[in-house]
């Protein structure tokens, strides 16, 4: 009877909406067409205005034309996809009807809603997941190209200039991918359901955050056709002032990415703080929600510093400003500080949501409450606070403010304390638990192993004398890959497997997923352990050629990278095949207790027909169910969840 209720509830909103108006004719493809037309037209107009053969500053013309064209591409794309239709109608006094809102939410549109400006938070979550996996794949291809080049010393496949450009593009694409890979898909799809809400606080802003990010990807790809970026992804000044026009595209892409992130962060914060179910105090709020909220706050604080640096770079390049030109009164230290005030908190913008996802699923597969849940929350808050106080350890060897080396060394070492607290919570939760070793739990183990290595090696780099020896070495590359990929990427993959059934209604293929897990873990440790040894031996990073004494280590790293690529392809195959043909999932296949598992898989349009009332936390395994409602239909769903929990146990 309960199953029948779930099915009928899931199909109750299948009727096609009759609203939409102009939005019915707009989608991703119209956005691309309008954006390309706008970019081409504006480029030629800008070239006519600024490129003058008699002008001594003729070289500035291409920069100004490229900047104008890239901005026109973004605005034209947003116009073509329909991002401004609703506010324009409101200005005309013709606000949208209920049918219009239902069309915007994707009601009755099938797969087509994923190609439109759709306000349903679940659609936005799927859009983010597909985009993150796509950009991650592009970044991975660039990584394989770099590793193939470094398999042997000498000129090899290409020279240093192309190599520098590839390293820069690989870096920024992977950074953007890792920032959005958990918060984008699961902060949007899962978090509102997890707090008992029907949607995000600002559904249109939610869609805008994604469609503002989408045109950033072509902008970054255009960098390669505009001379590349010889600066690496850090874009240090004054090199950035002297770079080809690809630097203009890079800067515009960063600015738009930060705008998109800010829109999404505000929406997530407001949703988490104002739309939690009755009875869901902060003490009862799932740890994943706390992690997403903390990450959003940190992103709002840190990422705009990078945006300011890029705006000033564009002004230097196109308007003869001198923010970073020392001979004209500027300072390269200004950019270095702006970048690293963003650069180190950005590490935790990546790490915290992945860690929170791991914390969320560990109690489920240990079948015991989250050990020291308040300690974990305190650790996340401390990471946010301390992460904005450590940026200058990246400049220990630069000569900037040497008297501050001691204080920044102290704050950097202090940040290992909340990290250790979170690690202790994970170990304490697993300890003497009734472990259910399914694929998500394997990723939990992988996260613990990789993050432990990344954390320990980071302590060495926080020490000034050790950092003076290792800062420019491959050791640093291995360290941050263990942290950002070995930790955050593994956490993101765990989240995909864990919430896959809720998003798609189908179970993830755990057999192929397990092969993928072991392949990736073996390849990852081979690749970056070899980098540690080469780095300790003195091999510098960011070099296109190297001394033959480092050949064996580089050959091992390249071989390991190809093993990682095989594992990632297996994971991609498992994801796509499971999405299409995986076994139909029940509402709660893991027997979890958070609210998203009390709705059908995939959830209906409005998530909950009647909003739940929460009377306890979500980690009381072995205790009576603590999530109640006055509506008789929801206990039927809760009953299914309880039965699933019994099967899982």
Q: What is the structure's pLDDT at 61?
A: 62
Separation between Cα atoms, residue 601 and residue 505, nearest integer Å: 5
Separation between Cα atoms, residue 277 and residue 259, nearest integer Å: 29
The three-state secondary structure class of 278 is strand
Q: Residue 184 carries which DSSP code?
A: I
Q: What is the structure's pLDDT at 609?
A: 87
Q: What is the structure's pLDDT at 326?
A: 86
Separation between Cα atoms, residue 240 and residue 351, nearest integer Å: 28
Q: What is the structure's pLDDT at 555?
A: 96
Separation between Cα atoms, residue 104 and residue 196, nearest integer Å: 22
pTM as predicted = 0.91
The three-state secondary structure class of 311 is helix
Separation between Cα atoms, residue 574 and residue 443, nearest integer Å: 15
Separation between Cα atoms, residue 189 and residue 120, nearest integer Å: 9
Q: What is the structure's pLDDT at 4?
A: 32
The three-state secondary structure class of 628 is strand
Nearest Cα residue to 162 out of 110, 227, 68: 227
Q: Which stretches in the chain have pLDDT values below 50? A: 1-15, 55-59, 628-649
Each residue's pLDDT tens digit, 608-623: 988 899 888 888 876 6
Which residue segments constitute the domains of the chain, with CATH numbers given? 125-581 (1.20.210.10), 595-648 (no CATH)
Q: What is the structure's pLDDT at 627?
A: 55
Q: Which residues neighbour 632 within 8 Å (Cβ) at sequence distance 6 or greater?
A: none
Each residue's pLDDT tens digit, 623-642: 665 554 434 344 434 433 44
């Amino acid at each position: 009877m309960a199953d029948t209720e779930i099915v009928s509830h899931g199909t109750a909103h299948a009727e096609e909406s009759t609203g939409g108006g102009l939005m019915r004719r707009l989608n991703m493809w119209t956005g691309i067409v309008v954006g390309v037309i706008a970019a081409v037209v504006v480029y030629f107009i800008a070239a006519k205005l600024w490129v003058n053969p008699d002008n001594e500053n003729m070289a500035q013309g291409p920069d100004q034309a490229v900047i104008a064209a890239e901005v026109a591409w973004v605005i034209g794309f947003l116009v073509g996809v329909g991002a401004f239709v609703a506010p324009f109608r409101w200005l005309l006094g013709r606000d949208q009807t209920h049918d219009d809102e239902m069309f915007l939410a994707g009601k009755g549109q099938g797969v087509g809603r994923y190609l439109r400006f759709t306000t349903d938070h679940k659609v936005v979550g799927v859009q983010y997941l597909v985009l993150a996996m796509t950009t991650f794949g592009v970044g991975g291809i660039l990584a394989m190209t770099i590793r193939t080049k470094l398999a042997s010393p000498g000129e090899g496949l290409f020279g240093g200039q192309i190599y520098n450009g590839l390293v820069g593009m690989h870096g920024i694409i992977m950074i953007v991918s890792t920032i959005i890979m958990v918060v984008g898909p699961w902060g949007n799809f899962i978090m509102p359901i997890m707090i008992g809400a029907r949607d995000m606080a600002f559904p249109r802003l939610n869609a805008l955050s994604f469609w503002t990010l989408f045109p950033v990807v072509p902008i970054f790809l255009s960098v390669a056709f505009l001379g590349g970026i010889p600066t690496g992804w850090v874009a240090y000044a004054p090199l950035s002032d002297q770079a080809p026009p690809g630097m203009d595209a890079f800067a515009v892409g960063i600015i738009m990415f930060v705008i998109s992130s800010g829109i999404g962060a505000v929406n997530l914060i407001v949703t988490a703080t104002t739309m939690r179910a009755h009875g869901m105090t902060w003490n009862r709020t799932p740890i994943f929600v706390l992690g997403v909220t903390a990450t959003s706050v940190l992103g709002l604080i840190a990422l705009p510093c990078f945006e300011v640096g890029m705006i000033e770079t564009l002004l230097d390049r196109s308007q003869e400003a001198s923010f970073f030109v020392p001979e004209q009164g500027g300072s390269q230290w200004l950019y270095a500080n702006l970048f690293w005030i963003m650069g180190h908190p950005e590490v935790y913008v990546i790490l915290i949501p992945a860690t929170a996802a791991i914390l969320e699923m560990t109690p489920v597969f240990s079948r015991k409450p989250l050990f020291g849940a308040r300690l974990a929350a305190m650790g996340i808050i401390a990471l946010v606070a301390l992460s904005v106080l450590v940026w200058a350890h990246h400049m220990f060897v630069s000569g900037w403010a040497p008297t501050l080396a001691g204080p920044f060394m102290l704050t950097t070492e202090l940040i290992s304390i909340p990290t250790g607290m979170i690690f202790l919570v994970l170990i304490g939760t697993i300890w003497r638990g009734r472990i259910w070793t399914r694929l998500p739990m394997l990723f939990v183990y992988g996260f613990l192993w990789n993050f432990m290595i990344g954390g320990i090696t980071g302590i060495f780099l926080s020490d000034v004398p050790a950092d003076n020896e290792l800062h420019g070495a491959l050791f640093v590359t291995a360290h941050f890959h263990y942290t950002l990929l070995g930790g955050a990427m593994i956490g993101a993959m765990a989240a995909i497997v864990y919430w896959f059934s809720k998003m798609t209604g189908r179970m993830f293929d755990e057999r192929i997923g397990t092969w993928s897990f072991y392949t990736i873990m073996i390849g990852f440790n081979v690749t970056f352990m070899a980098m540690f040894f080469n780095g300790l031996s003195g091999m510098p990073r960011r070099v296109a050629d190297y001394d033959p004494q480092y050949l064996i280590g580089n050959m091992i790293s390249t071989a390991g990278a190809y093993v990682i690529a095989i594992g990632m392809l297996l994971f991609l195959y498992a994801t796509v095949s499971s999405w299409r043909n995986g076994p139909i999932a029940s509402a709660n296949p893991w027997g979890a207790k958070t609210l998203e598992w009390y709705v059908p898989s995939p959830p209906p349009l409005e998530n909950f027909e009647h909003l739940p009332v929460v009377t306890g936390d979500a980690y009381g395994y072995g205790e009576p169910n603590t999530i109640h409602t006055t509506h008789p239909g929801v206990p039927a769903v809760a009953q299914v969840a309880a039965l699933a929990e019994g099967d899982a146990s």
